[in-house]
Amino acid sequence: MPPQEASTTALLIQSLLPFVMLIVIFYFMIIRPQRKREKETREMLASLKVGDNVTTIGGICGKIVRIRDDIITIEVGPDKVKLVLERWAIRSVDKPISAD
């Protein structure tokens, strides 16, 4: 390679390196953690079962009493009011509250 082509190639690599590094940093700081959270959420929603204590995305806490496909019925409050929700509306599965 003539010296001019070598310096042009080096200059091109040197100018593209910051952009490549930015993309790599962006991937490891934003995209990868988001995919991990999405995977955990999918696994949690797939493992729901009757009797689980859950919290909805609206902050309502209740106990699952029925699951039918993507429709979940939860009981809330001392009057055991039943709410019918879509599966995606469940935010988390809570640990059972002990009666100590």
CB within 8 Å of 67: residues ≥ 6 apart: 48, 49, 50, 73
Q: What's the pLDDT at 14?
A: 87
Q: What is the mean pLDDT of each run of 10 residues along the chain (100 residues)?
A: 68 88 91 94 95 96 95 96 96 76
Q: What's the pLDDT at 72?
A: 97
- Rounded to whole angstroms, the Cα distance separating 81 from 61 reads 12
Contact status, residue 48 vs residue 90, Cβ threshold 8 Å: yes
Q: Specify the residue for token string 């019918």.
A: 84
- Rounded to whole angstroms, the Cα distance separating 24 from 86 reads 37
Q: What's the pLDDT at 45?
A: 95
Model pTM score: 0.69
Residues forming beta bridges with residue 88, ordered by sequence position? none
Q: What's the pLDDT at 5?
A: 62
Backbone φ and ψ of 2, nearest 5°? -65, 155
Q: What's the pLDDT at 97?
A: 66
Q: Which CATH architecture has domain 48-94?
A: Roll (2.30)
